[in-house]
Amino acid sequence: MDTLILLWQLLKPWLCFVVFIYLCIKMTGWAKNRKAGAIAFGLFFQMILPDPSAESTIEAVAERKQEVKKQQDGDKEPKDEDETLKLP
């Protein structure tokens, strides 16, 4: 019985590693097919794991939103032919 326990303790890290690799391959396949399970798995871990560059990500998203808003506002304004003559 002691040999089985010793064998289990020796193989447990390798079995965990193989299961982890299998899970990664399975999730990659699901993500390529856009399965709901892969999306839910990704969202779940995104909520749990910390983002090391959260501040820079938030700033980049805010800048993009401002650029899009400026482009949309610029498209709505009537265009004058004499815009080149106007001074700021």
Checking if the pLDDT of 85 tops 70, the result is: no
- Taking only the tens place, the pLDDT of each residue in 26-58 is 989 988 888 888 888 888 888 888 777 778 888
Domain that holds residue 8: 1-50
Number of domains in the chain: 1
CA-to-CA distance for 6 and 65, rounded, in angstroms? Answer: 58
Do the domain assignments include residue 1?
yes
CA-to-CA distance for 88 and 75, rounded, in angstroms? Answer: 19
Q: What is the band of 87 on the pLDDT scale with cuts at 50, 70, 90?
A: very low
Do the domain assignments include residue 62?
no
Do the domain assignments include residue 9?
yes
